Amino acid sequence: MQPLSSDEWGEDEYAAFGTLLGMQGDKVPAAGSGHTYDPLKFPVIGLLVRHPELAKAWLAFNGYLLRRGELPARLRELVILYVANEHRSAFEWGQHVSMAIAAGVSEEEIARIPQGSSGFQGLDQLVLLAAEELVDGGTVSEPTWNELVAELGTHQAIEVIFVVGAYTTTGMAFGTWGLQALPGSPALPDPAIRHAPRG
């Protein structure tokens, strides 16, 4: 599946992109305009808006997790990178490495993400353990959940689950559609160093 071409953008598609940008659809720059927010510069949006109403709902939800969620950005980005690597989502990995660095994750820590929770300590290890359990078995174990709530509070603990779920969804969608990383983006780590699934 290919992103929309410039002549395929209409009112509904602009309105969906406007949800992400925080503006009315008629204020979104025209596709092909060359503007900073020209929709053609965002191939992922050009794919999502092939279903405009779903895109509006999804972008509002994803935007909440990224901009208004209570989970600290560092922990959120560790989880996103872990999920992107597990689902081999080159696009998400490429997008979120820079976001992780901006949130205080070092390049050395990013290199350890494929090892999973065993490569970390403290809260980093805890949220990655929860992510591992969710990816491998679809649920967070009771001991891990209780520790998440004790350390992070209920809101942040809930957000860990929804961040894993959100980026699992995008990983599946982008993999299905063949969405590639943007040119110059960091490459996915070698799959040989992924952590062993929990039994």
CA distance linking residue 116 with residue 110, whole number of Å = 11
Structure tokens belonging to residue 47:
């794919």
Provide the 10 A C-beta neighbour count for residue 67.
Answer: 9
The answer to whether residues 149 and 60 touch, using CB atoms and an 8 Å cutoff, is no
Q: In this structure, is residue 156 part of a structural domain?
A: yes
In terms of C-beta density within 10 A (0-12 exposed, 13-18 middle, 19 or more buried), how is residue 26 classed?
exposed
Q: In this structure, is residue 1 part of a structural domain?
A: no
Position 194, amino acid: R
Q: Which of 138, 110, 136 is nearest to 124 (CA)?
A: 110
Q: How far is CA 191 from CA 25, 149, 185, 188, in A?
A: 40, 32, 17, 8
The answer to whether residues 42 and 133 belong to one domain is no
The answer to whether residues 104 and 117 belong to one domain is yes
Predicted confidence pLDDT, tens digits, the chain (199 residues):
999 999 999 999 999 999 888 899 999 999 999 999 999 999 999 999 999 999 999 999 998 999 899 999 999 999 999 999 999 999 999 999 999 999 999 999 999 999 999 999 999 999 999 999 999 999 999 999 999 999 999 999 999 999 999 999 999 999 999 998 888 999 999 877 666 555 5
The total number of structural domains that make up the chain: 2
Domain extent, residue 18, equals 6-65
The answer to whether residues 157 and 61 belong to one domain is no
The answer to whether residues 46 and 103 belong to one domain is no
CA distance linking residue 60 with residue 102, whole number of Å = 22
Where among 47, 65, 83 does a domain terminate? 65
How far is C-alpha 41 from the geometric centre of its chain's CA atoms?
A: 18
The answer to whether residues 85 and 135 belong to one domain is yes
pTM for the whole structure: 0.91
Q: Residue 120 sits in a domain of what CATH number? A: 1.20.1290.10
